[in-house]
């Protein structure tokens, strides 16, 4: 069952000067309305972070310490958030600082609404990961919203756009479809040799 293998030890908002920890980390990124909080809660099997119908509620980098071993990091969403430009710039700087200075980042989960496909900001995030030697994975959220045939076509299309080195996981936070496969991948990434994490 989703979430049964992981225990949340603490949830903390990270200060602006945060530069990571020696623990392995998995970061969750994506548009403000893509369902980041819902996916995190589904993966952990409990309501660990607040969900909202209003996009852009996550305005800080939040670190969830899991099993005293690794960090699941909830990054502020990008795009669509109805906030002023000053707040938007601060969000971008928070995310950039975290991603650039975290020396033990094992993967960035780039969440994409399966009905919308990859956007420019998603592609920028994936390209940043490639440039920095950080693994990226595309998580197609709300997979239950498409029929089986259309879902299969979307997976192939997105896979063709991102290439073989970026795995694609279709998931549904509400029906828990695909969560176990994603959990298995995360478990492997946080336990592997750090020197192989970007290959």
* Below-70 pLDDT ranges, the chain: 1-4, 14-21, 51-59, 79-92, 94, 101-102, 193-199
Q: What is the pLDDT of residue 145?
A: 95
Q: How far apart are CA 160 and CA 181, in angstroms?
A: 20
Per DSSP, the three-state class of 10 is strand
Q: Tell me the pairing of strands 70-74 and 25-30.
A: parallel
Q: 169 phi and psi, to 5 degrees?
A: -120, 115
Predicted local distance difference test score (pLDDT) of residue 46: 85
pLDDT at residue 195, as a whole number: 45
- Residue 164 CB neighbours (<10 A): 7
Q: Give domain 8-192's CATH number out of 3.40.50.300, 3.40.50.10790, 3.30.70.260, 3.40.50.150.
A: 3.40.50.300
Residue 88: predicted pLDDT? 60
Tell me 14's DSSP state. Answer: P
Tokens read off for 25: 């980390």
User: pLDDT value at position 198?
Assistant: 47
* Residues paired with residue 168 on neighbouring β-strands, in sequence order: 138
CA distance readout (Å), 113 to 49, 56, 183:
19, 15, 19
State the Cα angle at 93 between 88 and 95, rounded to 5°: 95
Question: What is 18-71 written as a DSSP string?
Answer: ----SS-EEEEEEBTTS-HHHHHHHHHTS--S---SSTT---S-EEEEETTTEE
Q: pTM for this one?
A: 0.85
Domains of the chain, by residue range, sit at 8-192
Q: What is the CA radius of gyration of the chain?
A: 16
């Amino acid at each position: 069952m989703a979430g049964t293998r992981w225990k949340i030890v603490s949830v903390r908002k990270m200060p602006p000067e945060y530069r990571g920890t020696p623990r392995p980390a998995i970061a969750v990124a994506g548009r403000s309305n893509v369902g980041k909080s819902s996916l995190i809660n589904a993966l952990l099997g409990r309501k660990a972070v607040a969900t909202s119908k209003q996009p852009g509620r996550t305005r800080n980098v939040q670190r969830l310490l899991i099993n005293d071993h690794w960090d699941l990091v909830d990054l502020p969403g990008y795009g669509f958030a109805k906030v002023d430009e000053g707040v938007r710039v601060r969000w971008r700087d928070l995310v950039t600082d975290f991603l650039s200075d975290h020396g033990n980042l094992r993967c960035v989960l780039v969440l994409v609404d399966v009905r919308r496909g990859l956007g420019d900001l998603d592609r920028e995030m994936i390209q940043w990961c490639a440039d920095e030697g950080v693994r990226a994975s595309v998580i197609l959220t709300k997979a239950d919203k498409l029929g089986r045939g259309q879902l299969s076509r979307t997976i192939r299309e997105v896979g063709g756009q991102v290439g073989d080195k970026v795995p694609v996981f279709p998931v549904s936070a509400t029906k828990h479809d695909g969560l176990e496969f994603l959990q298995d991948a995360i478990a492997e990434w946080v336990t592997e040799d750090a020197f192989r994490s970007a290959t």
